């Protein structure tokens, strides 16, 4: 297991020694009590909590900087535009894109994937062509491609996984064919925690000239992501899973690809000139950012990246890796617990089922003890089918979680067994 070791460490802001209690102090919501118990928040793969600095950045934006961007000559508009573009540069550095014009702000991962499907996909797919995904995708990396295929008479192909939840790389390779026009894969599975061998997958696809779209929603919060090193063609992620606000996300795309693509939505900001006869589209990245964007969200996302950089992504990954190993050992030792997703390379997610007790019942009983986990299919129904289960309980970790909270989860599971004894 080398999630931590694999993290590329780049020059960061000055980092303090890792102190989880100090970090917990940065997150106001963690002091909440639920049903008389301290909140144990283990639903980070759904959305993470926000540090004070992110909340403050949003307030600061509205209190001191709010104006529409790329439009006015007035003072506030210039400040807002500058801050917005500074944030784009911060995102660029965070994922190591070559240029900030390759960073498109979206509402989230879902919108970013839909953008690629509806622009690149529509321009390049024809009847009989294929899109290759994997059996561990989130619905947001299945449905946009299904919609595209349906409209084009194209086929969705699915690369299988093994019982541990790992991609069968040889099968993936075999499915890359003459008709494959796009490969769309998760970097980290939200339901299983599997870290895919993305660099090798990209290399295999590129060997056949096929571009790769990556759903990075579960990877960016936990691994150091370097889009150039991965050589990903498109890489999508969400702010709210990495300590940032909801409603803001990012699509990274290689400049040449983005530049050649038709626009997604039409409107203001994405144009250079409009007449009733003809519209000329704006240059990158604005071509893909129609309408007034979520400027406060972008301010919050920048603060979230600054926060993560302040701790250091390697330290975050290392801490979460320790938690995952500890939780895997402790939960795995409980009678009746079956872990779902036991890949060698995993990040942050521990999915499990309990003999004789439905995940929904487990969720309610844990909630009564202040423990927040996700129960259900995790927007990955095909994954549930693959493992012949209707649902799982998913505990997912973030930088502020502690071993004591995992102990609370273990006590919680024991309580479930008591109730159902």
Partner 1 sequence: MPELRDLYQEVILEHSKAPRNYKEPAGTNHKAEGYNPLCGDRFTVYLEMDGDAIRDIGFQGAGCAISKASASMMTQSVKGKTKAEAHKIFEQFHRLVTGHSHEDGSEDQAELGKLAVFSGVSEFPVRVKCATLAWHTLEAALEGQQEKVSTE
Task: Please report the DSSP string for 238-284 in residue order.
Answer: ESTTTTS-TT-EEEEE-HHHHHHSPPSS-STTSEEEE-SS-EEEPPT
Nearest approach, Cβ of residue 388 and partner 1 (Å): 11
Tell me how far, at minimum, the Cβ of 368 lies from partner 1, in Å.
5
Rounded distance between C-alpha atoms, residue 225 and residue 7, angstroms: 8
Residue 412 makes contact with partner 1 by CB under 8 A? no
Closest CB 391 distance from partner 1, rounded Å: 5
CB closer to partner 1 out of 54 and 142: 142
> What is the three-class DSSP state of 322?
helix
Nearest alpha carbon to residue 141 among 194, 205, 184, 105: 184
Binding mask 335-374 for partner 1 (x = CB under 8 A): ---------------------xxxxxx--xx--x------
Smaller CB separation from partner 1, 326 or 420: 420
Tell me how many residues contact partner 1 (CB under 8 A): 20
* Catalytic residue list contains 149: no
Catalytic member of 186, 324, 371, 379: 379
Q: Which of 140, 401 has the CB closer to partner 1?
A: 140
Q: Is the Cβ of residue 18 or residue 420 nearer to partner 1 in the bound state? A: 420
Q: In whole angstroms, how close is the CB of 307 to partner 1 at the nearest point?
A: 32
Q: How far apart are CA 327 and CA 398, in angstroms?
A: 13
Partners of residue 392 on adjacent β-strands: 376
Smallest gap from Cβ 90 to partner 1, in A, equals: 37
Query: Exactly one of 157, 321, 377, 394 binds partner 1 (CB under 8 A); which one?
Result: 377
Residue 170: CB atoms within 10 A of its CB come to: 10
How does strand 212-215 pair with strand 180-186? Answer: parallel
**Under a CB-based contact definition with an 8 Å cutoff, are residues 151 and 160 in contact?**
no
**Cα(413)–Cα(243) distance, rounded to whole angstroms?**
28
Phi/psi for 387 (5° steps) reads: -100, 10
Residue 190 found at the interface with partner 1 (CB under 8 A): no
x/- track of binding to partner 1 for residues 262-301 (CB under 8 A): ----------------------------------------
Q: Tell me how many helices (H) and strands (E) the chain has.
A: 15, 17
Residues of this chain, 1-60, that bind partner 1 according to CB under 8 A: 35-36
Give the rounded distance of the alpha carbon of 345 from its chain centre. 17
Question: Binding of partner 1 at residue 255 (CB under 8 A)?
Answer: no
Catalytic residues: 379
For partner 1, the binding residues (CB under 8 A) are 35-36, 356-361, 364-365, 368, 375-377, 381, 384, 390-391, 419-420
């Amino acid at each position: 297991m080398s999630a931590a070791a694999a993290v590329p460490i780049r020059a960061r802001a000055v980092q303090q020694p890792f102190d989880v209690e100090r970090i917990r102090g940065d997150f106001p919501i963690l002091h909440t009590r639920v049903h008389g118990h301290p909140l144990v928040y283990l639903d980070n793969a759904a959305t993470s909590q926000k540090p004070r600095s992110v909340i403050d950045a949003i307030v600061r934006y509205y209190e001191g900087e709010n104006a529409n961007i790329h439009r006015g000559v007035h003072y506030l508009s210039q400040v807002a535009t500058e801050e917005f573009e500074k944030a784009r540069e911060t995102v660029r550095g965070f994922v190591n894109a070559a240029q900030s014009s390759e960073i498109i702000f979206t509402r989230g991962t879902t919108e970013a994937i839909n953008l690629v499907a509806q622009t690149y996909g529509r321009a390049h797919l024809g009847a009989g062509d294929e899109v290759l995904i994997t059996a561990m995708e989130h619905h947001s990396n299945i449905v946009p491609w299904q919609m595209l295929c349906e409209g084009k008479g194209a086929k969705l192909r699915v690369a299988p996984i093994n019982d541990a939840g790992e991609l069968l790389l040889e099968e993936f390779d075999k499915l890359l064919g003459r008709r494959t026009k796009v490969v769309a894969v998760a970097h980290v599975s939200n339901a299983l925690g599997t870290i895919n061998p993305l660099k090798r997958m990209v290399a295999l696809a590129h060997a056949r000239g096929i571009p790769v779209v990556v759903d990075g929603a579960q990877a960016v919060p936990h691994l150091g992501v370097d889009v150039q090193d991965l050589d990903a063609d498109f890489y999508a992620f969400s702010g709210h899973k990495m300590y940032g606000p909801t409603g803001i996300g990012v699509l990274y795309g290689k400049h040449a690809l983005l530049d050649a693509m038709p626009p997604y939505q039409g409107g203001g900001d994405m144009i250079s000139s409009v007449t009733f006869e003809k519209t000329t589209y704006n240059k990158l990245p604005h071509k893909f950012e129609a309408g007034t964007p979520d400027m406060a969200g972008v301010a919050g996302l920048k603060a979230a990246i600054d926060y993560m950089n302040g701790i250091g992504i390697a330290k975050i990954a290392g801490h979460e890796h320790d938690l995952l190993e500890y939780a895997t050992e402790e939960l795995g030792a409980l009678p009746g617990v079956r872990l779902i997703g036991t890949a060698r390379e995993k990040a942050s997610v521990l999915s499990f089922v309990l003999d004789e007790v439905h995940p929904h019942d487990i969720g309610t009983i844990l909630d009564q003890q202040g423990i927040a986990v996700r129960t259900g299919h995790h927007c990955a129904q095909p994954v549930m089918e693959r493992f012949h289960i209707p649902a799982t309980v998913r505990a997912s970790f973030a930088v502020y979680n502690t071993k004591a909270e995992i102990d609370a989860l273990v006590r919680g599971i024991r309580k479930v067994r008591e109730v159902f004894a």
